[in-house]
Amino acid sequence: MTDLTGPADAATAAPSGHRHLGWALVLISVAQLMVVLDSTIANIALPYIKTDLSFSVANLSWVVTGYALVFGGFLLLGGRLGDLYGRRRIFMVGLVTFAVASLIGGFAQSEAMLLASRGLQGLGAAIASPTALALITTTFPAGPQRNRAFAVYAAMSGAGAAVGLILGGWLTGLNFTLLGADVSGWRLTFLINVPIGLAAALAAPYLLAESDRHAGELDLPGAVTGTAGLIGIVYGLTRAGNPDHGWSDPLAIASLAVGATLLALFVLIERRVAHPLLPFRILANRNRATSFAIMMLVPAAMFAMFYFLSLFVQDVMGYSPLRTGFAFLPFSVGMVVAATAASKLMARVDPRWLAGLGTALAGSALFGFSRLPYDETLPGLGAHADYVTDLLPFIVMMSLGMGLTFVPMTLTAVHGVGRRDTGVASGVLNTMQQVGGALGLAILSTVAVHFSTEKGESLAASLQTAAGSGPAPTAAQVEQVQTLVGQVAFTEGATHAFLTGAGMIWLATLIALVFLNVKHEELATEELDEPVLVH
């Protein structure tokens, strides 16, 4: 028999079957941290991977890009699979897939083997991540408990990139012996996931309750067109943002065109099928659509900070990989502090004001990074940034802004969604973050390359004119000047990228203040958009 339970009844029905809420949150958070930090943990290991596996320069970037591509492309499908076949079951499948892929990557003997493992890791992450967020919604009752759970989840999501840089720098320096053979430490950046992923999968049946299953309702045409379309868009944006290709690259343009066509076909299919992969009722809610838009803009700016600032700290300021990782440690601490504060403030302050303040702070931090000091005159040519005065204040400001934004936006993005659709709603939220990050990085990389090239050519012309009236420089002097010119040119490009990113995130501030209209009192209830089928 099937009963229709309206919003009033649903509001009083707290999630059941969860005897260990604290341990359940630990499990979900560890899984999310593992998935997120893998986006950056391999970055610092890239030079060692290149040497050990004889990677070509062109393919090396795919160690990072391949993971993000598959992760972003399969998120919608991963979220829907959890709704249909049981979120705990799919969560476990994602974790095991991720662990097996990490094992393959850790023992990879060739370029192809490592890239295949990274793609499989992305698939595991796309299956596990939206179900992890959905499990929080269905495990924790609305109100303070759910707010705190989302604060921890948001802190793991935001701080994971910084933790990945620290962990990657440390593990890469740890060479070890296996079966009498010396093994490079970069392999540990993959192997560390194996025991964590398997342990989390084994613990899930004891700590998490299973959700209802609706097998037989999978929208295969929608799954194929939606997933392929997202992969096409993410690939095109990533390739266009690569300085070696750019926005005029034929393959990037073709990929974007095919992706857009497939997504248009996806929309047509979803309007006609009985059980769509993406029910459009999820997007019809104004507050939810606003949250999705904000969570597309915010990661775009945050990814830019990590990308450009990590390069600046290493290539311009001369930091070692491990020291670079620790330079971002205050970001992780600030995220935890701000997310904890946001979870408490949610009981008294509307999400509009928390998100508005958070994005305003983050935009101000990016504007601060756009003022990085450098000198383009001789003999002072070069960047002269100081970590404590020029970087640290804005790293902390950025972390506080992200913490204040992620918690309310994650909560409003899934609030009011029927229990049957929480997985796909979580998938949409994660997709917005991944596509937003790819789009933002592509746009900001294009801005950076333009201004960097322009500054480099201008400085080179000035130096050539100056050199014509003096003695011929030695080879060492030429190399030194080229390095300094490169630092100034990169800094010029990065500062314009940061300035553009500030504009993007301030746009999110405007959107939050104008369009977000959910009250904090509403978030303490389980009010749903539509009736829920109770079996």
Secondary structure (DSSP) of 95-150: HHHHHHHHHHHHT--SHHHHHHHHHHHHHHHHHHHHHHHHHHHHHSPTTHHHHHHH
Q: Of 135-144, 373-382, 487-496, give the range with the top mean pLDDT.
A: 487-496
Residue 4: strand, helix, or coil: strand
Rounded to whole angstroms, the Cα distance separating 339 from 411 reads 12
C-alpha 494: how far from chain center:
20
Distance, CA of 79 to CA of 305 (rounded, Å): 28
Query: Are residues 139 and 24 in contact, defined by beta-carbon separation less than 8 angstroms?
Result: yes
Least confident of 65-79, 203-217, 274-288: 203-217
**Backbone torsions φ then ψ of 176, nearest 5 degrees:** -140, 170
Distance of CA 94 to the CA centre of its chain: 17
Least confident of 3-17, 283-297, 413-427, 503-517: 3-17
Which residues have CB under 8 Å from 147's CB, separation 6+? Answer: 343, 344, 346, 347, 407, 411, 523
In whole angstroms, what is the distance from residue 523 CA to residue 149 CA? 13
Cα(315)–Cα(491) distance, integer angstroms: 10
Is 265 in contact with 225 (CB distance < 8 Å)?
A: yes
Give the separation between CA 212 and CA 421, rounded to whole angstroms.
11
Give residues with Cβ within 8 angstroms of 480, minimum separation 6.
none
Residue pair 409/294 in contact (Cβ under 8 Å)? The answer is yes
> DSSP code of 420?
G
CA distance 157 to 399: 12
List, in sequence order, every residue forming a beta bridge with 385; answer none if it has no partner.
none
How many angstroms separate the CA atoms of 434 and 411, rounded? 18
Q: Are 524 and 467 spatial neighbours (Cβ–Cβ below 8 Å)?
A: no
- Contacts for 216 with CB less than 8 Å, ≥ 6 apart: none
> What CA–CA distance (Å, rounded) separates 198 from 207?
15
Q: Which of 53-67, 98-112, 124-138, 406-420 has the highest mean pLDDT?
A: 98-112
Split at pLDDT 50, 70, 90, the class of 439 is: confident
The candidate with the shortest Cα–Cα distance to 319, out of 327, 329, 330, 307, is 327
User: Which of helix, strand or coil describes residue 274?
Assistant: coil
- Tokens representing 144 are 């303070």
Confidence of residue 468 (pLDDT cuts 50, 70, 90): low
Predicted confidence at residue 454, as pLDDT, reads 86
pLDDT at 534: 30
Integer CA distances (angstroms), 526 to 6, 142, 292, in order:
11, 6, 20
pLDDT top residue among 71 and 363: 363
* Euclidean distance between the first and the last CA atom of the chain, given in angstroms as a whole number: 7
Does the pLDDT value for residue 366 go beyond 90? yes
Whether the pLDDT of residue 276 is over 80: the answer is yes
Mean pLDDT, rounded, for 478-487: 77
Contact 103, 194 (CB under 8 A): yes
Rounded to whole angstroms, the Cα distance separating 452 from 445 reads 10
* pLDDT score of 158: 67
Average pLDDT over residues 278-294: 87
Nearest to 423 by CA among 228, 132, 205: 132
5 three-state secondary structure: strand
Element spanning 73, H or E:
helix 62-85
Helix (H, G, I), strand (E, B) or coil at 521: coil
Count CB atoms within 10 A of the CB of residue 168.
Answer: 27
Angle at 401 between CA 397 and CA 406, to 5 degrees: 150
Cα separation, 240 vs 263, in Å, equals 19
Please state whether 417 falls in left (phi above 0), alpha (psi between -120 and 50) or beta. Answer: beta
In DSSP notation, 12-39 reads H----S-S-HHHHHHHHHHHHHHHHHTT
Residue 4 has a pLDDT of: 34
Q: How many residues are given for the chain? A: 535
pLDDT band at 153 (very low <50, low <70, confident <90, very high): confident
Measure the CA–CA gap between 308 and 325, rounded to whole angstroms.
14
Cβ atoms 230, 76 nearer than 8 A: yes
Q: Which of 70-74, 191-195, 439-443 has the lowest mean pLDDT?
A: 439-443
Q: How far apart are CA 113 and CA 99, in angstroms?
A: 15
Residue found under tokens 């508005």: 356
379 cis-preceded (ω within 30 degrees of 0): yes
Closest CA to 91 of 81, 103, 77: 81
- What pLDDT, on a 0 to 100 scale, did the predictor assign at position 58? 63
